[in-house]
Structure 1
Amino acid sequence: MASIPCVLTVLLICLSLEHMACHGPEQATDIALLLDSSGSVRNVEFKAMKQFVINLIRKLLKKDTQFAIAQYSSSCDIHVNFSQFNSKGLWEKQVENIRQTYGGTNTAAAITKLANELFVTSGGARPDATKVLIVITDGQSLDGYNLPSAIDMAKAKNIIRFAVGVGQAFENSRARQELNMIATSATDHVFVVDNFDTLEKISSSGEDQQLYRKPH
């Protein structure tokens, strides 16, 4: 794996999103964040993941940007859909109040649910908005055999996908391949960090270290 020095994951995501919004600064964007809450994620790690989400939203929050937040393990729970997100300041409490569900890692089922129930008008998604999904996971899924069909569904809805992998599980080539499959682009939309402490650090400003690495 190659290191990318002096770069924050969150800034790369921001730059990528800005590049995608090439139609103008007022381009509407709907961003969903999907958090892995499986049993392999410790409670303190899940809290670090939520803090990463808070920091990320702070950096991306702007006019005409909506957010939705979901967690998944054996099942998937949508905690805040696009119409429920409160951009006036209460959204941080909405994230903090999410309680980890534990269980297995059914990533494909979660992506399918968001495509069917979140990236639709009833989930608050806007037909004219750029659709973005950011998946944060600590390992390989248990339902990987369903991942191709889940990704096809996301592609059919023009959902741009980022994959953030946390932990040593992604030293495994099959786990890395799964991240590459989840993401729209294996080159630009896949990010891997060593642990959840690093995940929290890189989402804060002022960290100028080689904390971030990218699968190849």
Structure 2
Amino acid sequence: MYFLGAQFVTILTIIHGLNGENTTCDLALDLILILDSSGSISVPEFAHAKYAMVDLVERLNINEKGAHVAVVNYATTVDLWAAFDVYNYDKISLVERIKDLEKLDTGTATGDALYVARHHCEGVCRRPEQAVTRAFIVFTDGNSNSGRLVVDEAPLLPGPAMANVFAVGIGDTITNAELIAIASDKDYTLRLSNYIELTTAINNLTIATCHFPAFIMPNIKILNHQVGQNLYHYYQMNTQMIPNKNGMFIDLIVNNTVGRTQAYTSLTSKNPKGLNTRQASTPLKDRTYTQYIPVGTNRFYFSLFGMEPVNQYHFVAQLRFL
């Protein structure tokens, strides 16, 4: 059961129209799973949470160039375990480690968990100029009651860390305000009534994770990306961090080295792919697509759609100020 309210937006807004898509994810992804194991969670509930995380991990393409996964198990204390360099991206070993996570059984220090996850990612996540999607998913059943404040730690994740943060609340103790404070976007929240529902929601959560747009930096050329036929690769630029006093243009320059792509852009849709977006076909030679960015724009989103069996490309988003 999903809960909707006037001020509360759930995962359904992200996956609208995506049902029926492949529920595995081949995306290159730096993913940190942040799991609450405080005293308010029963042993069977914690087992359901671990089962759900295993299910999500099983759907990822975990390897050196694909998905990298770290796990943060927290209560009042925070225990970090990462797949990075530990098992050489071995999915089997990662799954076994998740199954062996111990319930910590104390308070709820979500702010501390976000702090540990951010610093871990700053050290081992792939470099921003590689434009690999970064995603943190927090699973919790209650408001933080110890340690660092969520309202202080959460804003640092989509900013300097350039990560998408998704908050999953289970049960009726966690408040909507807490979930929205954790999430990097009001759309990135999901509320479930119990942990059994979490195990059934993982399919949709996997789809949402695979549609997170990767952050890119302005004027930095991104090399050797690829997208399959009839698939999209999503990107975003945080234009709120750019001093834009009079409006500016972004010139998106795409060079297809193999195959062909179609570019879609938007200032509002996180996954531009047709209606209500702008588009430009990008043939084998360089193609420049220009988007005007008004003052006060928070994000520039775009996607590249694969038109051939194999599609490889470089691109750069260059700024032009007025």
Report the alpha carbon displacement of residue 201 of structure 1 after superposing the two structures with TM.
2.8
Q: Distance in 1 between matches of 2:96 and 2:181?
A: 32
CA displacement, residues 77-136 of structure 1 (integer Å, 9 cap, x when unaligned): 0122433253342221111111111100010111011111x1033xx3211332110000
What residue in structure 2 maps to residue 43 of structure 1? 43
Counterpart residue type for residue 167 of structure 1? G
What are the residue-to-residue correspondences of 1:106-185 with 2, within 5 Å? 106-116=109-119, 118-121=120-123, 124-127=124-127, 128=130, 129-143=132-146, 146-154=149-157, 155-170=159-174, 175-185=175-185
Residue 76 (structure 2) pairs with residue 74 (structure 1): yes
Secondary structure in 2 matching 1:39: coil
What residue in structure 1 maps to residue 67 of structure 2? 65
Secondary structure in 1 matching 2:144: coil
CA RMSD of aligned residues (A): 2.9
TM-score (norm 1): 0.75
What residue in structure 2 maps to residue 96 of structure 1? 99
Counterpart residue type for residue 110 of structure 1? A
Secondary structure in 2 matching 1:169: coil
Retained in 1: the 8 A contact 2:180–2:189? yes
What residue in structure 1 maps to residue 32 of structure 2? 32
Retained in 2: the 8 A contact 1:138–1:167? yes
Q: Distance in 1 between matches of 2:114 and 2:201?
A: 25
What residue in structure 1 maps to residue 201 of structure 2? 202
Counterpart residue type for residue 134 of structure 1? I
Secondary structure in 2 matching 1:156: coil
Q: Distance in 1 between matches of 2:167 and 2:79?
A: 19
Change (3 A) 1:163 1:36: same
Q: Distance in 2 between matches of 1:163 and 1:203?
A: 13
Secondary structure in 2 matching 1:98: coil
**Gapped regions of structure 1 (runs ≥ 5):** 19-24, 206-216
Q: Distance in 2 between matches of 1:97 and 1:26?
A: 26
Report the alpha carbon displacement of residue 147 of structure 1 after superposing the two structures with TM.
1.5
Counterpart residue type for residue 190 of structure 1? T
Retained in 2: the 8 A contact 1:105–1:142? yes
Moved more, 85-94 or 31-40: 85-94
Counterpart residue type for residue 75 of structure 1? T
Q: Distance in 2 between matches of 1:168 and 1:103?
A: 19
Percent identity of equivalent pairs: 25
Q: Distance in 2 between matches of 1:142 and 1:54?
A: 27
**Gapped regions of structure 2 (runs ≥ 5):** 6-10, 205-322
- Choose between structure 1 and 2 for higher RCO, CA contacts under 8 A separated by at least 6 residues: 1
Residue 103 (structure 2) pairs with residue 83 (structure 1): no
Counterpart residue type for residue 199 of structure 1? L
TM-score (norm 2): 0.51
Change (3 A) 1:144 1:190: farther
What residue in structure 2 maps to residue 21 of structure 1? none
Greater fraction of residues in strand: 2
Report the alpha carbon displacement of residue 144 of structure 1 after superposing the two structures with TM.
8.2
Q: Distance in 1 between matches of 2:104 and 2:31?
A: 22
Report the alpha carbon displacement of residue 27 of structure 1 after superposing the two structures with TM.
5.9
CA displacement, residues 161-203 of structure 1 (integer Å, 9 cap, x when unaligned): 0000000114xxxx2111001111112x100110011112333
Larger Rg: 2
Retained in 1: the 8 A contact 2:83–2:94? no
Report the alpha carbon displacement of residue 72 of structure 1 after superposing the two structures with TM.
0.6
Counterpart residue type for residue 28 of structure 2? A
Q: Distance in 2 between matches of 1:153 and 1:115?
A: 8
What residue in structure 2 maps to residue 190 of structure 1? 189
Change (3 A) 1:144 1:193: farther
